[in-house]
């Protein structure tokens, strides 16, 4: 049962693509991807989990193989992407699950947890930020400026993030041996971001990212009161979300397990076995 199935579901009129593997009656883990990728980032992790877990990995609207309506047809915000993800999980009948979040997957996962705390069996963050500590200033200064005042003075700096060089950088920065990272990763992502109109989709989400920050105190309260098990496994050389963002989870999550790995933002591309080992050990302990 460890081979992934590639499926779609219609949620609020949109086709949402997702990868599914494992036994239907096994504990569930939902994998939520970041920018600029899709569930493709989990293609090699899924088989390593599927023997023991029911794995669901959706593509957010506007990403991967999910529908990608233009900005005039859909208002892209992290609230809206969360509602679609929640609708998919409801449609699949999933009322208890662990969350694995990375990059954009984090603010979506935090919203899911805050909306339905009773559903969350565990949280795994792999370079998925939940604290102000995690923002690397040199990367985020331009994003904050664009969110605060979108226009011709601030847009060029963030639009550059849509280019192939910037996407390649996301995959290679902080990786001790860049030859481990397949060029298929950034070429795949660049092709999808380059679809007609998708640039405006991504810019809309850049503008909205500032609205994730007010969630952080609510997340921290959830971690303290729920005592949900937390694993932070993080590329310590990430120049987008720095290692202080991983360590910060230990402030609020009871007995948080934190591992800093000698890698970058997309840790699965260079350290798949290391991440999978920590993840399987953690899930085995907290989910049984």
Residue 101 φ/ψ, nearest 5 degrees: -120, 145
Q: Is the peptide bond before 36 cis (omega within 30 degrees of 0)?
A: yes
- CA-wise closest residue to 125 among 229, 240, 269: 229
Distance, CA of 10 to CA of 88 (rounded, Å): 8
Residue 263's contacts (CB-CB under 8 Å, 6 or more residues apart) are 174, 175, 176, 235, 236, 237, 270, 271
User: Are 16 and 67 contacting, i.e. CB atoms less than 8 angstroms apart?
Assistant: yes
Pairing of strands 97-101, 5-11: unpaired
Burial-class residue 206 by CB neighbours within 10 Å (0-12, 13-18, 19+).
buried
With the CA atoms of 105, 210, 214 and 249 taken in that order, what torsion angle do they form, in degrees rounded to the nearest 10? 50
What is each CA distance from 73 to 35, 68, 134, 166, 193, in whole angstroms? 21, 10, 33, 28, 17
Which residue is catalytic, options 60, 188, 265, 271?
265
Q: Is 188 a catalytic residue?
A: no
User: Are 117 and 219 contacting, i.e. CB atoms less than 8 angstroms apart?
Assistant: no
Name the β-bridge partners of 32: 101
Q: Any idea which residues carry the catalytic annotation?
A: 265
């Amino acid at each position: 049962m460890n081979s992934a199935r590639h499926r779609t579901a219609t949620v609020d009129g949109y086709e949402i693509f997702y990868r599914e593997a494992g036994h239907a009656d096994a504990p569930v883990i939902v994998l939520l991807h970041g920018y600029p990728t899709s569930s493709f980032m989990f293609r090699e992790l899924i088989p390593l989990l599927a023997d023991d877990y029911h794995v669901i990995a959706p593509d957010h609207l506007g990403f991967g193989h999910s529908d990608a309506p233009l900005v005039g047809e859909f208002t892209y915000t992290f609230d809206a992407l969360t509602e679609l993800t929640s609708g998919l999980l409801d449609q699949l009948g999933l009322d208890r699950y662990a969350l694995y979040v990375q990059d954009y997957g984090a603010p979506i996962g935090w919203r899911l947890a805050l909306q339905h705390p009773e559903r969350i069996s565990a949280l795994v963050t792999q370079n998925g930020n939940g604290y102000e500590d995690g923002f690397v200033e040199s990367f985020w200064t331009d994003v904050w400026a664009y969110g605060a005042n979108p226009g011709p003075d601030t847009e060029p700096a963030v639009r550059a993030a849509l280019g192939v060089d910037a996407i390649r950088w996301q995959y290679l920065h902080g990786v001790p041996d860049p030859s481990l990272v397949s060029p298929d990763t950034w070429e795949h992502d660049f092709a999808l971001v380059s679809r007609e109109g998708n640039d405006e989709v991504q810019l809309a989400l850049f503008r909205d990212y500032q609205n994730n920050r007010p969630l952080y105190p609510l997340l921290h309260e959830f971690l303290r009161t729920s005592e949900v098990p937390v694993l932070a496994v993080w590329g310590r050389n990430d120049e987008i979300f720095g290692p202080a963002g991983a360590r910060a989870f230990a402030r609020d999550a009871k007995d948080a397990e934190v591992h800093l790995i000698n890698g970058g933002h997309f840790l699965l591309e260079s350290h798949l076995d290391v991440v999978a080992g920590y993840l399987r050990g953690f899930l085995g302990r907290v989910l049984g």
